[in-house]
Amino acid sequence: MEPELLLAATGALGLAVVFAPPRVPRAKLLTWGLLGLAGMAAIAIAPSLDLVILILLVLAVLQARLTSHRDFATRLRAPMLAVVLMALGLVLERMQGPVVLERFGAVGIVAGLVAAVGLLPYAHEFDPEESVVASPVPWIAFVGPLLAAAVVAQASEVVPADAGDAFGAMLIGLGLLNTLWGSVGSWRTANDAAAWRYSFMSDWGLVLCGFGLAIADGRAAALIILVSIVLGRLPLYLWSREALREKVPTDRAINLVVAAVLAGSAPFAGFPARVLLLRGATQLYWPLAVVLAAAMLLWLPGSLRLGRSMGVPRGRQAVGVAIVLGLNVLLGVYPQPLLTLAGL
């Protein structure tokens, strides 16, 4: 799963740099993006969870050292909490002792993962005026997807079968929380930039549920949603920042199409992922599918709002939006090559 996400992140960086608005410093975006990609490549090839945590530590320090509105300590707080929780979880898993310790270890690893990505209950402090590179957005939409895939894959080797249920239950519980909170937040919050951040959270909720199901359908759904975050929601968010500044909602056809992409409707990438997730949840425990289906309905108002906040893309941004829409249609209509590549 990691190589596919690394490839998607490379594509997203390319799109962000090539189709960036004129006032965005592309050289800096490219430099920091490549640094992030190098870290992600290291995470992808890391043979153990210890190394993944150490690489996370390095990435956290490098990002926190960028001067920004928020100070060093504030920006370091959430990733460091993630490192501590994952490290303690890993240590507990490696000790020979009662099962309850292993379960605590599983809880620590999941909590650390959620803290690293910036999901509830450890949402990163978000300042809409901050530059994208120094903000929490790279954690939730660029580095986070590959990090999550790597941590879940490595954890499956560390967490014993006795504690596997705690691991899955934590993932599903936090997934539902983020799905509901993110959907309602992106609909109800007063600030458009914050609404985008909540929409990332709601997508991540489905990803956590997919990983928590621990069956092929769940993992496939998680992969598709992660790729759609990196190659869909992230570039659209970057291109919406100009329009967010002008604060003029638009109601063109393109805004409706973007809303459809963000809502995960057919024929875009979110749709097969949601179908796979509901199918997997039904196999495992059907009331979970009912709750997920209800939560998915909440996507619509928030997505319509975000689609309107995009403005009307012009020039190179219009080309970028067209490419993103095309990729999402491709993934939505025929996701099998991606799943085959990932061995799912």
* Interface residues toward other proteins, by CB under 8 A: 23-25, 28-29, 32, 47-48, 50-51, 53-54, 57-58, 61-62, 65-69, 71-73, 76-77, 80-81, 83-84, 87-88, 90-91, 94-98, 101, 125-134, 184-185, 188-194, 197-198, 241, 244-245, 247
Q: Which is nearer to other proteins, 126 or 271 (CB)?
A: 126
Quote the least distance from Cβ 278 to other proteins, whole Å: 27
Is 48 strand, coil or helix?
A: coil
Q: Which is nearer to other proteins, 194 or 289 (CB)?
A: 194
Residue with tokens 């249920």, as numbered in its chain: 165
Quote the least distance from Cβ 121 to other proteins, whole Å: 14
Q: Which of 26, 205, 61 is nearest to 123 (CA)?
A: 205
Q: Is the Cβ–Cβ distance between 144 and 79 less than 8 Å?
A: no
Q: Which is nearer to other proteins, 57 or 215 (CB)?
A: 57
Encoded tokens for 197: 């951040």
DSSP summary character for residue 232: I
Quote the least distance from Cβ 200 to other proteins, whole Å: 12
Alpha-carbon distance of 258 to 262, in angstroms, equals: 6
Alpha-carbon distance of 323 to 187, in angstroms, equals: 26
Q: Is the Cβ–Cβ distance between 191 and 211 less than 8 Å?
A: no
Q: Which is nearer to other proteins, 33 or 212 (CB)?
A: 33
Quote the least distance from Cβ 284 to other proteins, whole Å: 30
Q: Which is nearer to other proteins, 49 or 146 (CB)?
A: 49
Quote the least distance from Cβ 10 to other proteins, whole Å: 20
Quote the least distance from Cβ 306 to other proteins, whole Å: 13
Q: Is the Cβ–Cβ distance between 55 and 82 less than 8 Å?
A: no
Q: Which is nearer to other proteins, 50 or 316 (CB)?
A: 50
Q: Is the Cβ–Cβ distance between 139 and 76 less than 8 Å?
A: no
Query: What is the Cα gyration radius of the chain?
Result: 19
Q: Which is nearer to other proteins, 135 or 274 (CB)?
A: 135
Alpha-carbon distance of 226 to 239, in angstroms, equals: 19
Quote the least distance from Cβ 132 to other proteins, whole Å: 5
Q: Which is nearer to other proteins, 90 or 324 (CB)?
A: 90
User: What phi and psi, each to the nearest 5 degrees, are found at residue 231?
Assistant: -100, 0
Quote the least distance from Cβ 42 to other proteins, whole Å: 9
Q: Is the Cβ–Cβ distance between 229 and 11 less than 8 Å?
A: no
